[in-house]
A and B are shown apart, each in its own frame.
Chain A
Amino acid sequence: MFRGLVVNEWLKLIHKRRFVLTTAIFLAFSLYSIGNAYYWNYVKHPPKAPAVIEQELRSAITNTNKKLATVKPGSEEWLSNTEYLTDQKLNLEEQGAIKNGQWQVVAKKRIAVLEKRISEKEAAEKEVGWEYEELAKNKYYLAHNITPEWMYPGKVGGVEGVYSVFGSGALLLALMIVLMVADIVSGEMSDGTVKLLLTRPPGRWKILTAKYVTAVTSTIALVMVGALITLALNGLVFGIHDYNQPEAVGKKYIAKAVQNELGITEIRPFADGSGVKAIPRWQFGLAILGLLLIPLITVATLTFAASVIFNTPLVGMGLMTAALMGGVIFEARMGSSTLLLANFVTYLRLYAYLVTGSPVEGDPISPVNLAGAIAILVAYCLVSLAAAYAVFKRRDILV
């Protein structure tokens, strides 16, 4: 019986063409992203000939050497230029490895350089960030015998394209979900069909639960269908050869008091690389999808509750759209604020916990960790569901 109710709701969703419409909109966005990636990588920045790259690297090395001769050894500028010189030399070696296939040698050298640099910088209480991630990736190449991506210059990865679409498309997906779910109850109120639903044997809470199950499952289905379509398109255009390339996760930032150039103590975010590890790109993509689903299901739940509480679909849709857009504008304006951490819209970027430890773009130090963030979203869901059920159970249907 309950399964029948869910089937009913899904059929309504499909025949109202909601699912197709939202998928199509997301598909359009995904196509745009692919086009953009193609334009960026092949038109605006076409692959350079190896000889050109080598020439560029050599002249960079020469220029840096000249510069180093003019600055005081041991000074801040000298240090950064030395670092730059080392990196350019390694890059030149990469070019050699592309020809002779000996990438392991370069990876090992890189690991040695990075480890030294990290220990030096940490001893000097300087910030270390991407070095940890590079270190983890290079160790991963060697440990799993994965040929690094840089061995194939000019080849863009299709798997990377999928999760970058989903990362930047979180707000769009949220809006699609609002579009899909907003009239799930209020639509029946405004069309009067609720009278057909509620004069049947299944009780109100069962009908409402079937509708909620549909709201959640259609959210998951939208993300899954969207991911598969995006993967297929990206795969067709760029290939999925990069599925086992490493991505570094687990970097966090901690607040540290440091003296700045003027001798004033200030709090700065310092990267904490102790938890950094590399995972293959397909795993990273799945983790992003999973972390995206949590805030999106929250959006579906809030939209569902609005659909129960307000009798016209337009009110629920308007409120949810305003909340989402308002939340994004608020975040852009505030940059960093503990207030942001109470707003569910902030956690649309829940996946950012994977790489920065904070959902707020402008503030890498978050007093709320991933578990706390999920707890906040669950609280949003529970409160709004409680309100929805309480309202619907006793409401007199006067339409």
Chain B
Amino acid sequence: MQPVLELKQISKKIKKRDIVIDINLKVFPGEVMGFLGPNGAGKTTTIRMITGLIRPTSGDIYISGHHVHQHRAQAMAQLGTIVENPELYKFLTGRQNLQQFARMAGHVGPGRIAEISEMVGLTGRIDDKVRTYSLGMRQRLGLAQALLHRPRLLVLDEPTNGMDPQSMRELREMIRKLAREEGIGVFISSHQLAEVQQVADRVAIIDKGLILRVESLEQLANEGRQQLVVTVNKPQQAATLCSQLVYCHGVKVEEDRIIMELEPERTPELVRELVRAEIDVYELTRRKFILEDKFIDVTGGDIHV
């Protein structure tokens, strides 16, 4: 099957600094790929290269087999995107905005604008100026402009920034629907795995411009290690105590919490030890780290489930 998006050895240097190094990626029709990495990892730069906003220093990008720079028109005809915030023409109405993009696409039928407004739930406000829209409505209009010309590839850069939970759920449902029913390939960036895991089939993890790995979500979940996070009143004392216990590993202090690895069945035992030492326990949670410690150190534990 021909990938809907293919990155071949993409690198980008800005002012002699490596922003993105030698990225190879493929997204197939009907597939949702999460693009995960901390802020400053090179996500936005990669997305801007895919969308033709910046030129790679080296390497080639293909959308549905069309080279983004050599066959720009064909490639862009297959692309729908929201890069960062959906910045639209505020002095135009929603409909006038969509008409602008329809004129640029060239092959958008007369009923399509009404259809897409219905789909994103903007029908009632489509003739109002975008200036009067809420952030959620702007995001929906952003999605409408991205899907207007029926692209084969949808590229979304941190689409849920500033979205309320309801809109987030709707967006996820729509993305899944587009992928399953219309076979659109979706490339969606985020700095939170929690967000991506609910919608993505595969995840590419990027840090410092390097793709660390590309895995399916199941694979990632299976190899994760359990960690226990305990919120206490005396974290230092608790940490000293825990490091003396043979079944606790890798004890760390994080503000008023201690974090360690231990078998789930040893948890009651640990709690009893803490109580005996007159340490007050406020909260106990489990979390699963899916990435190697090195990466967590770098990203400050940002990426977790």
Contacts and interface: CB of A to CB of B under 8 A. Distances in A.
Interface of A: 1, 4-5, 7-8, 11-12, 15-17, 191-193, 195-203, 394, 396-398
Contacts of A16: 91
Interface in B81-99: 81, 83-85, 87-92, 96
A141 to B, nearest CB: 54
B109 interface: no
Contact of B106 (A191, A197, A201): A201
A196 B130 CA distance: 15
Nearest to B14: A396
A27 B87 CA distance: 34
B51 interface: yes
A193 B89 contact: yes
Contacts of B194: none
Interface in B54-86: 54-55, 72-74, 76-77, 79, 81, 83-85
A228 B103 CA distance: 32
B97 to A, nearest CB: 9
Given A11-B100, A15-B91, A200-B104, A192 B85 contact: yes
Given A196-B101, A198-B53, 10 more contacts: A12-B100, A17-B91, A192-B85, A193-B87, A195-B51, A195-B53, A197-B104, A199-B76, A201-B105, A396-B53
Contacts of A198: 52-53
B106 A396 contact: no
Interface centre among A15, A191, A195, A396, by most chain B C-beta atoms within 10 angstroms, is A195
5 contacts: A191-B87, A191-B90, A195-B84, A198-B53, A199-B53
Nearest to B81: A199
B145 interface: yes
Contacts of B88: 193, 196
A8 B101 CA distance: 9
Nearest to B90: A191
B159 to A, nearest CB: 14
A5 B103 contact: yes
A202 B84 contact: no
Contacts of A1: 106
Interface residues of B, number: 31
Contacts of A11: 92, 96, 100
B54 A398 contact: yes
Central interface residue in A1, A12, A192, A196, by most chain B CB within 10 Å? A196
A201 B145 contact: no
A226 B48 CA distance: 43
Interface of B: 14, 48, 51-55, 72-74, 76-77, 79, 81, 83-85, 87-92, 96, 100-101, 103-106, 145
Contacts of B85: 192
B104 A8 contact: yes
Closest 7 pairs between A and B when the two form their complex, measured CB to CB: A192-B87, A4-B103, A396-B54, A397-B53, A200-B104, A201-B73, A201-B76
A17 to B, nearest CB: 8
A263 to B, nearest CB: 70
B101 A200 contact: yes
Nearest to A394: B55
Contact of A4 (B52, B81, B104): B104
B101 A192 contact: no
Contacts of B51: 195, 199
Contacts of A192: 84-85, 87
A134 to B, nearest CB: 54
Contacts of B106: 1, 4, 201
| Most B CB within 10 A of own CB, among A192, A200, A394 | A200
Contacts of B145: 196
B104 to A, nearest CB: 4
Nearest to B53: A397
Nearest to B145: A196
A19 to B, nearest CB: 13
B54 A199 contact: no
A73 to B, nearest CB: 77
A200 B75 CA distance: 9
A397 B87 contact: no
